[in-house]
C-alpha cells in the first residue's frame, strides 16, 4: 500500500498529476486546491497518498497533508459520499474550514462544494459532528452553543443575541462563535443587549 510519494512533477491532467518517482510515472488524482498548490512541471513535490485497489484498477489519490487525507477518508464514511464528492469538498474548503463547518453544523458552507446538495451537506455535518478530528482548532464553547441552538436548548437571551447578529449580516456559525465567547466572558446570566455588545466586540477583533 502506497502512503506517500516524493518525486518530480512530470505533467498535469484535468484532475490529476503525473509524478515521476525514480523513473516511474504515477498518476495521482488530487483536489483542485491541491493541484493549484503544487509546483510547476520539472519541480519536486511530495504527496500523502490514499491507495484504492479494485478488481479492475488501482487508483491513487494525493493530498498536500496527512490531515487532508484523513478528511478524505472520513468524508467517505458518510452515506452518499464517494471519492469524487470528497475531493470536491476538499477542493472547495480547507481542512480548517471543513472542520469548523462540521463542528458548527454549517451545512450551507459545505454545500458550496460542486456536486454537494443540501441533503448530502446535511448528512456530512450530522454524521461527522462527533468525529471532528482533535487537530481542528475550534472553540469548544462555540461547538457547545451550536449544538444547544440546533436542539433549541440555549437560553433565550443567547438565541436572541445570535439572531440579532445574523440580522446584522453575520453568518450563523460566526454569530454563534461570537456569542459563545461573549457568554463566557460576561457570564451565563447576561442579558441580550450585553451579549450583543460583547459579541460585536469579539467580531471586531
Q: Which helix (H) or strand (E) holds 200?
A: helix 192-204
Helix (H, G, I), strand (E, B) or coil at 36: helix
Q: What's the Cα-to-Cα distance from 139 to each of 105, 176, 178, rounded to whole Å?
A: 14, 11, 10
Q: Which helix (H) or strand (E) holds 27?
A: strand 24-30
Q: Give the pLDDT confidence of 104-113 residue by residue, as tens digits.
A: 778 888 999 9
Q: What's the Cα-to-Cα distance from 61 to each of 49, 51, 75, 116, rounded to whole Å?
A: 6, 6, 14, 20
Are residues 4 and 49 in contact, defined by beta-carbon separation less than 8 angstroms?
A: yes
**Range in 7-21, 35-49, 109-123, 128-142 the model is least confident about:** 128-142
Domains in the chain (CATH in brackets) are 4-63 (2.40.50.140), 67-127 (1.10.150.20), 140-204 (no CATH)
**Range in 52-56, 73-77, 151-155 the model is least confident about:** 151-155
Q: What pLDDT was estimated at residue 134?
A: 46
Amino acid at each position: 500500500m502506497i502512503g506517500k510519494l516524493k518525486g518530480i512533477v512530470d505533467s498535469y491532467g484535468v484532475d490529476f498529476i503525473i509524478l515521476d518517482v525514480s523513473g516511474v510515472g504515477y498518476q495521482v488524482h488530487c483536489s483542485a486546491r491541491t493541484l493549484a498548490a503544487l509546483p510547476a512541471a520539472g519541480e519536486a513535490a511530495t504527496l500523502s497518498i490514499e491507495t484504492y485497489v479494485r478488481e479492475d484498477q488501482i487508483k491513487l489519490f494525493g493530498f498536500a497533508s496527512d490531515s487532508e487525507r484523513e478528511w478524505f477518508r472520513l468524508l467517505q464514511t458518510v452515506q452518499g459520499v464517494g471519492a469524487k464528492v470528497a475531493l470536491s469538498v476538499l477542493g472547495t474548503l480547507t481542512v480548517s474550514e471543513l472542520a469548523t463547518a462540521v463542528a458548527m453544523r454549517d451545512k450551507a458552507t459545505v454545500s458550496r462544494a460542486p456536486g454537494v446538495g443540501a441533503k448530502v451537506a446535511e448528512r456530512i455535518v450530522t454524521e461527522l459532528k462527533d468525529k471532528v478530528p482533535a487537530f481542528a482548532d475550534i472553540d469548544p464553547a462555540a461547538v457547545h452553543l451550536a449544538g444547544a441552538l440546533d436542539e433549541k436548548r440555549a437560553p433565550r437571551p443567547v438565541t436572541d443575541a445570535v439572531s440579532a447578529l445574523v440580522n446584522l449580516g453575520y453568518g450563523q456559525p460566526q454569530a454563534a462563535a461570537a456569542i459563545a465567547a461573549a457568554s463566557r466572558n460576561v457570564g451565563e446570566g447576561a442579558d441580550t443587549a450585553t451579549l450583543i455588545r460583547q459579541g460585536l466586540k469579539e467580531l471586531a477583533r
